[in-house]
Amino acid sequence: MNASTLMQLGLSETEARIYLSLLRRGAMQAGAISKEAQVNRTTTYDCLERLIADGIVTYSIEANRKVFHPAPPNRFLDLIKEQEKTAVELLPELERQYKARKETEETNIYKGKKGIRSILQEILKYPNYEAFGSGGRFLEIMEHDFLAFQKRKEAKKIKSRIVVNQSARKTQGIREAFGSFRFVSDEFTGGPVTTFIFGNNVAIVVWAETPFATVISSPEAAKSFKNHFELLWKTARP
């Protein structure tokens, strides 16, 4: 066994060399360990202190001198269990801080069909959403992903209100979609762009040949876009 194997258990290279030296030679004083492991004395003492703190190395006093011993190898399993227990205890607080960070303003860019697909999967986690913009390019660009999205929406009873351009009224995309639609004049839709509002998130998708999107995570931005949507919804026609 070499030092790199033990390093997988969290030891530094010098700590691993010291422990392996003790396994090979048995109890030794620090000077002998330094020579055997080919580590300078100062570093040897520092590493021994850390190994003792973790219970990987122990020592005894013989003739007023410290003699160091390797702990049984199963001590590594005990360490892993202790770390797991600590991780489980810390997890709720870490999750809280992670969620708090996610609730702050954040902007991410997504590119390509896989990126848009990940946004659609995120939308499906919410009980409802609003959208407005181009009504024809979604199906054309995303094809079976569009149809799968509609089926999942229906299966999960996700409510959606969508405002699209008048020219999309009789398209396949509208016929295949699950949701409530209203229509506005084409001049108000802003080209091949769809804006989704879900939770505290706004996704602005550009339906180019390679689609891309900007997702803004911000309660303030979501509220602003939602207000804009409500104005469109009131003036749009069924």
> What are 89-139's pLDDT values in tens digits?
999 988 887 776 655 668 899 999 999 999 999 999 999 999 998 767 888
In this prediction, residue 142 carries a pLDDT of 92
Q: Could you tell me the pTM of the whole model? A: 0.57
Please count the other Cβ atoms lying within 10 Å of the Cβ belonging to residue 179.
Answer: 17
Is the pLDDT confidence value at 175 over 90? no
The Cα 100–Cα 68 span in angstroms is: 47
235: phi then psi, degrees, rounded to nearest 5:
-90, -15
In this prediction, residue 181 carries a pLDDT of 93
Residues 138 and 233: beta-carbon distance below 8 Å: no
CA quadruple 153, 154, 158, 160: dihedral positive or negative? positive
The mean pLDDT value for 47-69 works out to 92
Which residue ranges form the domains of the chain, and what is each CATH number? 3-71 (1.10.10.10), 106-235 (3.30.870.10)
Is the pLDDT confidence value at 72 over 70? yes
- Banded model confidence at residue 57, pLDDT cuts 50, 70, 90: very high
The Cα 139–Cα 146 span in angstroms is: 5
3-state secondary structure the chain: CCHHHHHCCCCCHHHHHHHHHHHHHCCECHHHHHHHHCCCHHHHHHHHHHHHHCCCEEEEEECCEEEEEECCCCHHHHHHHHHHHHHHHHHHHHHHHHHHHHHCCEEEEEEHHHHHHHHHHHHCCCCEEEEEECCCHHHHHHCHHHHHHHHHHHHCCCEEEEEEEHHHCCCHHHHHCCCEEEEECHHHCCCCEEEEEECCEEEEEECCCCCEEEEEECHHHHHHHHHHHHHHHHHCEC
Find where tokens 């396994």 sit.
23
- Banded model confidence at residue 189, pLDDT cuts 50, 70, 90: low
Q: Which of 15-19, 77-81, 97-101 has the lowest mean pLDDT?
A: 97-101
Torsion of CA 133, 135, 137, 138, to 10 degrees: 90
Is the pLDDT confidence value at 30 over 90? yes
CA distances (Å), 87 to each of 31, 83, 84, in order?
Answer: 37, 6, 5
In this prediction, residue 10 carries a pLDDT of 85
Residues 19 and 11: beta-carbon distance below 8 Å: yes
The mean pLDDT value for 136-155 works out to 91
Q: Mind listing the pLDDT tens digit for each residue in 216-232?
A: 999 999 999 999 999 99
In this prediction, residue 101 carries a pLDDT of 62
